[in-house]
Amino acid sequence: MESENTFKKLKEKGRTATIQRLAVLECLRESHGHPTADELYQSLRQQYPTLSRATVYNCLQVLKEAGLIQELTIEKDKARFDPDPEPHHHFFCRRCKTIFDFQVNCPVAGSGCVEGHQIEEVQAYFYGICESCLKEEKRAVA
Ligand SMILES: [Zn+2]
Ligand SMILES: [Zn+2]
């Protein structure tokens, strides 16, 4: 069912579901924490030794265009990828660089207009120190 959707979405963009594209998508869906293209390349390389870094980058662009994944710019110099293409909030820990999906009610979401602008979608980046880093900090102080 899910792979049918993948095929359909790629086809809508005039793309075929190549083995590489499916492998990149699967690898992204299995990895937690919004990996970078390079992290995906490193883990795919073990299974597909002939896969090049350029191919992984290219596959990610095609999957993004097909609306199967999304690219996050939460870290300025590093693109991260998310297997969930629907808009959702993210929290970035400045200390351990982990990205979490963040469930928080946004006050303006679904409220229509703010300052005359019609809101259609809200997706925010939050920055700070994550729970486990905070705990570690407390332990270090104590
Ligand atoms: Zn952290
Ligand atoms: Zn996410």
Distance from Cα 93 to the centre of ligand 1, integer Å? 5
Residue 4: pLDDT band (50, 70, 90) is confident
User: Pick the residue with more confidence: 43 or 141?
Assistant: 43
Distance from Cα 141 to the centre of ligand 2, integer Å? 32
Distance from Cα 58 to the centre of ligand 1, integer Å? 30
The pLDDT mean for the chain works out to: 91
Q: Global pTM?
A: 0.85
Distance from Cα 34 to the centre of ligand 1, integer Å? 14
Distance, CA of 37 to CA of 24 (rounded, Å): 10
Q: Residue 77: which of 135, 37, 128, 123 has the closest Cα?
A: 37
Q: Residue 27: which of 15, 12, 39 has the closest Cα?
A: 39
C-alpha dist (Å) from residue 107 to 112, 113, 115, 116, 123: 11, 12, 14, 16, 12
DSSP H or E run through 74 = strand 70-75
Q: How many residues does the chain have?
A: 142
Residue 1, pLDDT > 60, answer no
Residue 111, pLDDT > 80, answer no
Residue 108, pLDDT > 70, answer no
| Percent share of the chain, pLDDT over 70 | 95
Residues with CB under 5 A from ligand 2 (ion): 82, 101
DSSP 21: H
Is residue 64 within 8 A of residue 23, CB to CB? The reply is: no
Residues with CB under 5 A from ligand 1 (ion): 93, 95-96, 130, 133
Ligand nearest, relative to CA of residue 103: 2
Mean pLDDT, residues 64-91: 94
Distance, CA of 53 to CA of 37 (rounded, Å): 8
Per-residue confidence (pLDDT) for residue 104, from 0 to 100: 84
Q: How far is CA 66 from the centre of its chain?
A: 14
